[in-house]
Amino acid sequence: MKNKISRKDREQSRKLNLIRVITIFVVWGAYELLSHSGLVFQGVVPSSVDVTKSIFSMITDSEFYPHVVRTLTEELAGFGIGTVSGVFIGILFGTMPFLAKMMNPWVLYLAPSPKIIFLPILLLLFGVDMGSKIAISAITAFFPVAIATYTGMLHIKPVYLKVASNFNFSPAQKIAKVYLPALVRPIVASMRLAFGTSFIVTLLAEIKMSNLGLGHLIIQYYEFLEVDKMYAVLILTFIFAMVANGLMGRLSESVRH
């Protein structure tokens, strides 16, 4: 009986993979056709051969890596600051219901607003270099983490807190022994979203104004109409974003068990 089911499963997964492979080839073929048809300006839809060549010449070129390092530094610094302050504010709101009642609606409705709009202000405050990008990445990462932490705080069983106060836990002990263990799951799950959105915003900020970084590369290749190189940077960026997203997903899965 068990054998039968697994054979059926295997057959289905083979079918699914077949559909996926065919889809990839159809899309790729359509793209190549469009590229060679002359229907659109060739510069916009460069042949995938050219794009692949550009990808290889890019990753073997040492001039590419300062851009990667710059973007990753900005993103990780901003993401780190945003996550830590999000956890802090979330716990603060959780322990002070009065404060939470006043400020929570603001946080909730500011959370989905377009953060990129803060960029001009941040450029004034932190300069056109890394500072403004770190700041905008931090602001973007802050909201999902703060909301998830606060929601997690609301779901901590009151019994745990009673036990902790019976044992005369200090506030620091409470945070380390009661709050954080209960909050790990929601925090890690929200970090996935926080990383994705703050990475996008960092790149957008670089596109708008910077002299180094992947976003800067994208817009520079666009302006010089080196479209195959622009595609190459975009593809590498997408691959990185998806790998990071997958790893964060794996992390939050492993925390769940």
Partner 1 sequence: MVGILIILLAALVLELAVQTNLISPFTVPAPSSVLREIPVLFAEENLIGFFITTMFIIFVASLLSFVIGTPLGWLLWKYEIFGKAYEGWLGAIFSAPIVLLYPIFLVLFGRGELTIIVMSFLVGVTPIILNTYVGLKNVPPVYIKVATSFGMSDGELFRKVLLPAALPSLFTGIRLSLIYTMINAVAIEFLISIGGLGYLVGDLYDRYDIPGMYAAVAFVLIASILFFYAIDQCEKRLNRK
| Footprint of partner 1 (CB under 8 A) | 12, 15-16, 19-20, 23, 40-41, 43-44, 102-103, 105-106, 109-110, 112-114, 116-121, 123-125, 196, 199-200, 203-204, 207-208, 215, 218-219, 222, 227, 230-231, 234, 237-238, 241-242, 245
Q: Which is nearer to partner 1, 65 or 238 (CB)?
A: 238
Q: How far is the CB of 57 from partner 1 (least distance, A)?
A: 20
Query: To 5 degrees, how large is the angle CA 127–CA 128–CA 134?
Result: 80
Contact 40, 34 (CB under 8 A): yes
- The DSSP output letter for 176 is I
Give the phi and the psi of residue 128 in degrees, each rounded to 5.
Answer: -85, -5
Q: Which is nearer to partner 1, 182 or 204 (CB)?
A: 204
Q: Which is nearer to partner 1, 15 or 157 (CB)?
A: 15
Q: How far is the CB of 252 from partner 1 (least distance, A)?
A: 13
Q: What residue type is assigned to position 213 of the chain?
A: G
Q: How far is the CB of 189 from partner 1 (least distance, A)?
A: 13
Contacts of 67 (CB under 8 A, 6+ apart): 212, 213, 214, 216, 217
Q: How far is the CB of 150 from partner 1 (least distance, A)?
A: 15
Contact 158, 244 (CB under 8 A): no
Q: How far is the CB of 227 from partner 1 (least distance, A)?
A: 8
Contact 34, 46 (CB under 8 A): no
Tell me how far apart the alpha carbons of residues 142 and 107 are, in angstroms, rounded to a whole number.
10
Tell me how far apart the alpha carbons of residues 185 and 181 are, in angstroms, rounded to a whole number.
8
Q: Which is nearer to partner 1, 153 or 214 (CB)?
A: 214
Q: Which is nearer to partner 1, 141 or 219 (CB)?
A: 219
